[in-house]
Structure 1
Amino acid sequence: MEPGSRAVLDRCLSTGTTAMLVHADAEAIALVQRCEERGLAVPGDLSVVAYDDEVAGLFSPALTAVRPPRRSIGRAAVRLVADRLADPDRPAHRVVISPALRVRGSSAPPR
């Protein structure tokens, strides 16, 4: 187990942490594997939520994941750039695009 993963899991256990949001899927998968190596049950001892949802559903247990709406984000970015090019003095704009939550087998209420 990598020292960083060991320290994170040690900190979770010492603080009573019951869930983690991990970016991105690959890191969340690695964390679940480290939990299994240490005898920690996911989601029993620790719930794990991935951010990206590229491959989270293919893992066992299937990872609960936050899924950003990539197409909407891309369209908004292109629109903002085009508007800025058309009017360089245009004030900054804020766009809020909310992700979706896909609840799967890696999360549960705390014991």
Structure 2
Amino acid sequence: MLVHADAEAIALVQHCEERHLSVPGDLSIVAYDDEVAGLFSPPLTAVRPPRRSIGRAAVRLVADRLADPDRPTHRIVISPSLRIRESTAPPRP
């Protein structure tokens, strides 16, 4: 299960534990953000967005739009990284 963001993923793991579901035995959980995911127990697998690259691209796009309001729309792809930790496991057969 992909959960946005770390705090919600942590809460979900705790909720699972209260219901005697094991992570990753019964359910694999992937957090999105990776601010504190690695500090939890079990450490959460997480998608980590490249914040600096996203920020730079956003500022550049805003500056370009202010300089040329009629500029065509641009799409930028900035790929995140995946940090695999103990909250995920391969599917059971």
Q: TM-score, normalised by structure 1?
A: 0.82
Verify the 8 A CA contact 1:44 1:110 in the aligned structure 2.
no
Equivalent of 2:13 in 18, 32, 45: 32
Which letter maps to 1:107?
T
Equivalent of 2:50 in 46, 63, 69: 69
Number of aligned residue pairs? 92
1:24-81 deviation line (CA, Å, top 9, x unaligned): 0000000000111111110000000000000000000000000000000000000001
Alignment RMSD: 0.4
The whole-number CA distance in structure 1 between the counterparts of 2:59 and 2:88 is 35
Q: Which residue of 1 aligns with 2:68?
A: 87
SS at match of 1:39: coil
The whole-number CA distance in structure 1 between the counterparts of 2:40 and 2:74 is 38
Structure 1 alignment gaps of length 5 or more: 1-19
Relative contact order, CA 8 A, sep 6+: which one is greater?
Answer: 2
Runs of 4+ in 1 over 6 A off after TM superposition: none
Comparing both structures, which one devotes a greater share of its residues to helix?
1
Structure 2 alignment gaps of length 5 or more: none
Q: Percent identity?
A: 88
